[in-house]
Amino acid sequence: MTANVTDPPIDGSGRAEPGDPQGHDRDQEPSRATGRGIWIALLVAALLLAGAIGWRIGRAQDDAEVPGHSSVDVGFFQDMSTHHNQAISMAFTYLAHGTDPLLRQIAGEIVTYQASEMGVMGEYLTTWNQAGTETNTAMEWMGMRVPREDMSGLATTAQLDALGNARGAELDQLFTRLMINHHVGGVHMAEYASAHATTAVVKRWATSMASGQRGEIAELNRWRVNHGMAAVPVNLD
């Protein structure tokens, strides 16, 4: 049975409508805007998660094929959930301390859209009778078994601490560099899943995530160049 609904918009990067309706407030009152931005992001994330869960329940029978425990499909959704979780954490750090309007917009979109994606991926895993993240290893589904904390693109604990302590231009530099590297790892995972997954839903989501994160890498590097910083070298082959 297929529910009469369409997929929610997904792109894996947190891209939303262009523009920043509160940009002028952020320029003039960064401190007050920082707190407001965080609560707006939390509220929208909660709404998107609720909608995503309801959407998934309505589509419980959409895919006839149920992937197995060691499949690319299950492994990708488990590991990408971990990946998204760190991106959301880094984005919240920027929302708490960063002041650049465009970077704040990107950070807010990462929080809202990737939280929504995590909710839907979790619902699929539940439908498939699989745990969200059950082991300390990752990427075995890609033939690249590593400790979960060493997953492709993840920032180290020291890098996350540095991000949390940075302010001003140093924070802008660290946030953009770490998020670009994070997205590069996500693109590699998503493109592998797009090519090797067996279910239509995972192929569709992985393809969209890879495309969206490639676009955000380019946008973040353009921002760096426009602000006198060297572009972060990336290898997406």
- The number of distinct structural domains making up the chain is 1
What's the mean pLDDT in 31-54?
Answer: 51
Residue 104 lies in a domain: yes
CA distance 72 to 81: 14
Residue 172 domain boundaries:
28-136+145-226
Provide the CATH number for the domain around residue 164: 1.20.1260.10
pLDDT band with cut points at 50, 70 and 90 for residue 20: very low
CA distance 204 to 36: 34
Summarize pLDDT for 148-193 with one digit per residue, the tens: 999 999 999 999 999 999 999 999 999 999 999 999 999 999 999 9
pLDDT band with cut points at 50, 70 and 90 for residue 133: confident
Residue 233 lies in a domain: no
Does position 215 have pLDDT exceeding 90, yes or no? Answer: yes
pLDDT band with cut points at 50, 70 and 90 for residue 106: very high
Three-state secondary-structure class, residue 200: helix
pLDDT band with cut points at 50, 70 and 90 for residue 230: very high
